Amino acid sequence: MAKFMDVHHNMKGITREQLIEAHQNDLAIEADERVHFEAAWADPESGVVYCLSEAPSAEAVQRIHERTGHRADEVHPVPLRV
């Protein structure tokens, strides 16, 4: 398992409720791919959303996001953390 940061770039105007709903939808199915979404941060003004996860691969992260209707624009492994 590894850590990943994925980024969505076109979420302008996202509300707190929409972020919570998207995250809950991911959590509901993440076990299918042995992914766990730990946190997400959003900037409604620029429309960027960052999601931190633990997963077996970037593809697994993306499959969950695709199934819940919000494909990530980037998925990066982040093996280093301070």
Would you tell me which residues interact with its own copies (CB under 8 A)?
3, 5, 14-16, 19-20, 23, 39-46, 48, 50, 52, 76-82
Q: How far is the CB of 70 from its own copies (least distance, A)?
A: 13
Of 3 and 67, CB closest to its own copies? 3
C-beta of 74: minimal distance to its own copies in Å?
8
CB of residue 28 to its own copies, shortest distance in Å: 14
* Integer Cα distance of 25 and 58 in angstroms: 18
Distance from C-alpha of 18 to C-alpha of 20, rounded to nearest angstrom: 5
Which of 10, 15 has the CB closer to its own copies? Answer: 15
Q: Which secondary-structure segment (H or E) carries 71? A: none
What's phi and psi for 61, nearest 5 deg? -60, -45
As a whole number of Å, the CA-based R_g of the chain is 12
